[in-house]
A and B are shown apart, each in its own frame.
Chain A
Amino acid sequence: MEILSKVHARNLVSWAADKPQVVVLSADLTSSTEVDLFRDAYPERFFSMGMAEQNMMSFAGGLAREGMFPFVHTFAVFIYRRAYDQIADSIAYPNLPVRMFGFLPGVTTPGGATHQAIEDLSVMRSLPNLTVLEVGDATDVETLLDPVQAVQGPVYVRMLRGEIPRLFPENEPFRVGQARVLTHGSDVTLLSSGLCTEEALRAAAALERRGVSIQHLHVSTLKPFDDETVAHAVTSASKGVITMENHTVLGGLGTATAELMAGLGAGRPLIRVGIQDEFLHGASRPYLMKEYGLDAAALVRAVETLLHEDLAIGEGDLAAVRLENVHSAAKAEAL
């Protein structure tokens, strides 16, 4: 598997070269959110706002009213938890083209509950006028900016940084409102998002060997949630549907899928793999994924529940966990 480093950092610089109205706001996490290269390349378009996110979000609204495109970068928790009122009134209500890049979703940081965004999709999905996106691989990150910029109103992106695997072909760009179909199958529909797609792929070969027919979709648009491909997938699986997300099962992919299925009268079991309404704490990603039941083994258990059978898949049958270095040149600090 190809692993890329600091994809967004380099991509943003080249993408923004001919877009003078794109400005970046940062809240003291400039290299941690991969906008250091942008700062160095376009210092006149980079604004340091300090550790003061409420002011930063309202400032972004003011800039956007005047035809600028503020690309706000910080850790996700500091966007939606610290400045929710400001996002609602200064950005979402007036439907302004502010692009919010929220880093450190869920298990991606050992920074603990204060740094781990576990309910951002839930909170942001419920705000009118917002488009809510999540990336899952290097191709998503590389090809995200054009479709984001094509959205008229505000966009929240649940972002990845550092070393990111390439799961999807380079020539198949990110598209808003369009899931990526990874496998076709008829027994089970699996909708995965963010880094859970990579994790789900660890179980793919083992499940195939046991003859389980899985339709696997990588979902990157959480709102609007009106993709025909997803609608077809959740109504066509004979045994049921599984969602798998690095987020609480309240309000994210699992909830959106439940709402969709209920609306369509899909009448099938749905298992929501994700964080079961509790906080995480500071630890490594593989540890947290196992501990909180978001890993490939948890997916296998969900499939077994839908099929009512023991597939006899052990840890040894799953592809190896990709281990990241805690200290790496791809990240500013170990966070």
Chain B
Amino acid sequence: MQSATPSTKAWVDDVRRVARGVRRRVLDHTIRNNGGYLSQACSSAETLATLYLRLMKLGPSVASPVPPPFQGVPKAGRKATNGAGYNGEHAPDGDRLYFSAVHYALPLYATLIETGRMAEDGLRQFNQDGSTVEMIGAEHSPGLELTGGSLGQTLSQAGGVALARRLRGESGRNWVYMSDGEMQSGQTWEAVQALVYHRLDGVIAYVDVNGQQCDGKMTDVMAVEPLHARLEAFGARVFSVDGHDPEQLAAPAEQPPDGRPTVVLAYTDPCRGMPLMEARRPKLHYVRFKDEAERSSFADMLREMPR
């Protein structure tokens, strides 16, 4: 892996170790199940590891290490289950994560395992009937607090939560993890506009700009660049960073709030750390192996990946 340059900072090494673990775990799961969201792990691993290890002020998990079975959808007379407990107890000065790019649920679950918030066995329930460890996670899934699967809704929901928290005088920050595909959705821009107008500077969004979406390369589907200039024109505080560099990822979050919501554009490579993925371009959204030979070549790659 090209991220093997030794760092003088221990936390950077930790982030890199967790990121490698996320990639290996997602790849292992994909090989076992003959399918999975691999490119999402390639692009998000360092960002998720940086958020969990370095940036977000979270308490220890208060949820069951192995997620209990699904208790049913929210309805009258039933207390709804919520996956936010894996991110620690809610506290006025504590942070919250609102995970918008829920097609990245598999890398998120892997991150929870690598950071000691979920048991390894939890991932065995992935996409199993009656489990909360759903393929496209919802608010009952580990690490998730909101339901955002239609994409483009979470930033707005996080805005509402942030507004309520501000009205209560809470100081905790509200982190949103999004994908660049969501920048095609009108609601995202409505949300940025509202966060700016209502000066919700406790919201900080990390966007995985990997240039990929379901149909393939984003520029062949609907171009969204220049994101930095567009977001700035909307009034947001914007940073563009290398999404595989923990120090670059962490730096924007260390800036004190200045009245504007913050958006960090994490530019990433959807094949990073898994060279065999290159051959599958431009369709990277979901990987199912063409044949046993391909599967075994990915298994070989897994054995060679650094720990």
Contacts and interface: CB of A to CB of B under 8 A. Distances in A.
A60 interface: yes
Nearest to A128: B75
Interface string A174-188: 000000000000000
B150 interface: yes
Interface in B111-156: 138-139, 146-150, 153-154, 156
B161 A65 contact: yes
A63 B150 contact: no
Given A55-B156, A55-B190, A62 B161 contact: yes
Interface in B61-108: 73-76, 80
A70 B160 CA distance: 10
B167 interface: yes
B198 interface: yes
Interface residues of B, number: 34
B139 A54 contact: no
Given A58-B156, A59-B159, A59-B194, A85 B186 contact: no
A153 interface: yes
Contacts of B154: 58
Contacts of A94: 74, 80, 139, 147
Interface in A180-200: none
Given A55-B187, A55-B191, A62-B156, A89 B148 contact: yes
A89 B150 contact: yes
A128 B78 CA distance: 14
A105 B40 CA distance: 45
A153 B164 contact: no
Given A55-B190, A86-B187, A89-B150, A66 B165 contact: yes
A63 B156 contact: no
Nearest to B165: A66
Contacts of A254: none
Given A55-B187, A86-B187, A63 B80 contact: no
Contacts of A47: 163, 198
A246 B30 CA distance: 54
Contacts, number: 108
Interface residues of A, number: 33
Interface string B160-201: 111111011000000000000000001100110110011000
Interface in B224-274: none
B156 A86 contact: yes
Interface majority SS (helix, strand, loop, mixed), chain B: helix
B161 to A, nearest CB: 4
Nearest to A62: B160
Interface string A21-60: 0010000000000000000000000011110101111111
B157 interface: yes
A61 B157 contact: yes
Contacts of B162: 62
B190 A52 contact: yes
A66 B168 contact: yes
B51 interface: no
B190 to A, nearest CB: 4
A95 B197 contact: no
B186 A54 contact: yes
Contacts of B139: 94
Given A59-B160, A63-B160, A152 B153 contact: no
28 contacts: A23-B167, A47-B163, A50-B190, A54-B153, A54-B156, A55-B156, A55-B159, A55-B187, A55-B190, A55-B191, A56-B194, A58-B153, A58-B157, A58-B159, A62-B156, A62-B157, A62-B158, A62-B160, A65-B161, A67-B164, A68-B167, A89-B153, A90-B146, A90-B147, A90-B156, A94-B139, A95-B75, A129-B74
Interface of A: 23, 47-50, 52, 54-68, 70, 85-86, 89-90, 93-95, 128-129, 152-153
Q: Give 4 closest A-B pairs by Cβ, nearest first.
A: A62-B160, A58-B156, A66-B164, A55-B190
Given A49-B194, A58-B154, 12 more contacts: A52-B190, A52-B194, A54-B187, A55-B156, A56-B194, A58-B160, A62-B156, A62-B158, A62-B159, A86-B153, A89-B147, A95-B75
Interface of B: 73-76, 80, 138-139, 146-150, 153-154, 156-165, 167-168, 186-187, 190-191, 193-194, 197-198
